[in-house]
Chains A and B, each alone.
Chain A
């Protein structure tokens, strides 16, 4: 068990050291998410529509699109110089490789989201600070589901020539339940609803997160096989 956790930690450490040196992943995700929000800001009239009604959808579209860039880049790193082959040759359980990549993706996406949320608050003139706790729970649940499934499918699509196209095509339909729940919950939180009043959505998102983790554990061995 100790070795298993050490292997997961080693993958996270390796991804962090690489990102610290290149600063490619976080900057690309952040700029993309910011651009998405800016485009929407200029295309909707906030004096007509309520920010708390359109804002959550826009926020999650930004997270989703920027996160997809991150997922693509994450496994591209392993394909360069065939590093994935090097990983397959170490005496590690394939799930350790999966969880290492999942945790890296989750941390990188969460960092990007923490930078985007204040900008979203400013651009949409929404007070997020008074709902920060529940909002962070919802953002975490949605991001976890996105990363769980995204990491699995990016490892699958990394072997394809058309991986940049295939990843969103495979990922977005399966993410629909999580994204619907995340958008609904975000909207309700911005309207002042307590988290305890939306346990149905929380349960749905958490259930999908758990189901997708189970599916990933069961299939990653076959997906990483050549």
Chain B
């Protein structure tokens, strides 16, 4: 994997849907191997932020560079370097995990798509079910297969949009282990979540997004984890966007 000093660079990023400001002037940067967790209530604009950074939605203004590429240009080269896990699985329900991953491997232009797919399926612990239709999978298994799809091409940057939603305890632990492994392999990760303990446990940086803005963005070492939950609720309630939040 080549070095990406600034894996993600976001400057004055805005996205409006009519009068609704989903992303409202966000600035941040992530270096290669850093893990940023973005918390925020529903409707804060977290998903829109991920969609913009992964090139799925165009920003209204501002700039965002991912792996050195301007996201607005929609370059295939940028898409080679990112993996995305969103609310939906983006998996074909009537295909098996092996067929799904082989399809995406071919779309990524990977050599030996079957071998690569089998290896990733094993990595996420789905080998015994590799020939069953995805339609028959539980939420946890789908999420693991989503991870497999996202990491199949060994991307340098991963975007995860609420990956713990709907998972049971076991599946949550499995997912956390995968993310930790990816973090150890110096993948840059941007994750949005409502799960405060999971989010704080793995990250290097924490952000709180409220009404499209980052209420704060801090290194995890500067955050009092015990007080985070109450501060989160205070921030959401009071819409305190400036520096006045006492973390």
* 8 interchain residue pairs of minimum CB distance: A86-B90, A82-B88, A91-B76, A10-B106, A90-B107, A91-B79, A3-B109, A91-B80
Residue A93 lies at the interface, judged by CB distance under 8 Å to chain B:
yes
User: Per a CB cutoff under 8 Å, which of A18, A91, A226 touches B51?
Assistant: A226
Tell me the bound Cα distance from A80 to B93 in angstroms.
8
B95 touches A14 (CB 8 A): yes
Residue A92 lies at the interface, judged by CB distance under 8 Å to chain B:
yes
A85 touches B88 (CB 8 A): yes
Number of interface residues of B (CB under 8 A): 31
> Which residues, 167 to 226 on A, are CB-close (under 8 Å) to B?
225-226
Tell me the bound Cα distance from A6 to B106 in angstroms.
7
A18 touches B109 (CB 8 A): no
Q: Who on chain B is nearest to A79 by CB? A: B88
Residue B162 lies at the interface, judged by CB distance under 8 Å to chain A:
no
Tell me the bound Cα distance from A226 to B149 in angstroms.
21
Tell me the bound Cα distance from A11 to B82 in angstroms.
21
Among B51, B54, B89, the one with the most A-chain Cβ atoms within 10 Å of its Cβ is B89
A93 touches B92 (CB 8 A): no
B contact face: mostly helix, strand, loop, or mixed: loop
A225 touches B92 (CB 8 A): no
Q: Who on chain A is nearest to B90 by CB? A: A86
Q: Who on chain A is nearest to B80 by CB? A: A91
Number of interface residues of A (CB under 8 A): 28
User: Per a CB cutoff under 8 Å, which of B103, B108, B149 touches A91?
Assistant: B108
Chain B residues, CB < 8 A from A11: 107
Tell me the bound Cα distance from A191 to B29 in angstroms.
72
* A interface list, Cβ under 8 A from B: 3, 6-7, 9-11, 13-14, 17-18, 21-22, 77, 80-83, 85-93, 225-226
User: Per a CB cutoff under 8 Å, which of A22, A81, A92 touches B76?
Assistant: A92
Chain B residues, CB < 8 A from A93: 76
Residue B196 lies at the interface, judged by CB distance under 8 Å to chain A:
no
Chain A residues, CB < 8 A from B79: 89-91
A92 touches B107 (CB 8 A): yes
Chain A residues, CB < 8 A from B106: 6-7, 9-10, 13
